Homo-oligomer: A and B are copies of this chain.
Amino acid sequence: MINKVVSTLAEALDGIQDGASILVGGFGSTGIPFQLIDALFEKDVRHLTIIANNAGNKEEGVARLLGGGRVDKIICTYPRSTDCYIMERLYKEGKIELELVPQGTFTERMRAAGAGIGGFYTPTGVGTKIAEGKEIRNFDGMDYVLERPLKADVALLKAQTADRWGNLAYNKTGMNFAPLMATAASLTVVQVSEIVELGGIDPQRVNTPGIFVQRVVQVGDPL
């Protein structure tokens, strides 16, 4: 019998080691797996590479990991915001490596990793700093830059609903990167508000089929 539901956040993160690369879902404050991140902080693994759209606000979410010295490198599209002072400080002090990726390319690189695509040509970033050192190729009169898949050891995600097979339904714009990240990690771990019986999610409403998910943990609503 397949049962991907684990009882505790600690179990959900079991086996994650120093040096792991970790995809973290969420855009702004929607879809952020805060409880999983907090549990990862408690677990005290280090030298992480974090791959996330944002770098967290105040001392919450990814910012907490950054502030706690857990992260060597961040791959990110928009690490800046009003309350993103930890990332600001670490960056200015040269204490963190930053790989900046345009958001559409970020998304597409994760999709490629999950879909077995070895590389793709995108028009995004051509003629800019982002394309420096990368292959540029012209197809039908238009320039494209070659980008490579972005895969990771772990994905930490948030969804609304799951079942024991790991099928997921997200809520509204809380979905954002999660369906792509789920496919791009060896170990996809999801915190959910609700666990339902098999068949409890309409098969036409499953956003992430369980094949892409390894562990599910139910958490109380953070707010």
Question: Measured between C-beta atoms, what is the minimum distance from A43 to chain B in Å?
Answer: 30
Give the interface centre of A116, A123, A202, A205 by most chain B CB atoms within 10 Å.
A116
Q: Is A144 close to B, CB under 8 A?
A: yes
Give chain B residues whose Cβ lies under 8 Å from the Cβ of A108.
115, 117
Q: Are B120 and A117 in contact (CB under 8 A)?
A: yes
Interface of A (DSSP majority class): mixed
Q: Which listed residue (B118, B122, B140, B144) contacts A122, Cβ 8 A?
A: B118
Give chain B residues whose Cβ lies under 8 Å from the Cβ of A119.
120-121, 137, 139, 144
Q: Which of A114-158 contact B (CB under 8 A)?
A: 115-123, 137, 139-140, 142, 144, 148
Q: Are A116 and B122 in contact (CB under 8 A)?
A: yes
Question: Measured between C-beta atoms, what is the minimum distance from A168 to chain B in Å?
Answer: 12
**Copy number of this protein in the oligomer?**
2
Q: Are A118 and B116 in contact (CB under 8 A)?
A: no
Give chain B residues whose Cβ lies under 8 Å from the Cβ of A118.
120-123, 137, 139-140, 142, 144
Q: How far is the CA of A118 from the CA of B172 in the complex (A)?
A: 30
Q: How far is the CA of A137 from the CA of B122 in the complex (A)?
A: 17
Give chain B residues whose Cβ lies under 8 Å from the Cβ of A120.
112, 117-121
Question: Measured between C-beta atoms, what is the minimum distance from A139 to chain B in Å?
Answer: 4
Q: How far is the CA of A25 from the CA of B41 in the complex (A)?
A: 48
Question: Measured between C-beta atoms, what is the minimum distance from A119 to chain B in Å?
Answer: 5
| Chain B residue nearest to A119 in the complex (CB) | B121
Give chain B residues whose Cβ lies under 8 Å from the Cβ of A204.
169, 172, 205, 207
Question: Measured between C-beta atoms, what is the minimum distance from A205 to chain B in Å?
Answer: 6
Given contacts A116-B123, A117-B122, 6 further A-B contacts (CB under 8 A): A117-B120, A118-B123, A118-B142, A120-B120, A120-B121, A204-B207
Chain A contacts to B: CB under 8 angstroms: 108, 112, 115-123, 137, 139-140, 142, 144, 148, 169, 172, 202-205, 207
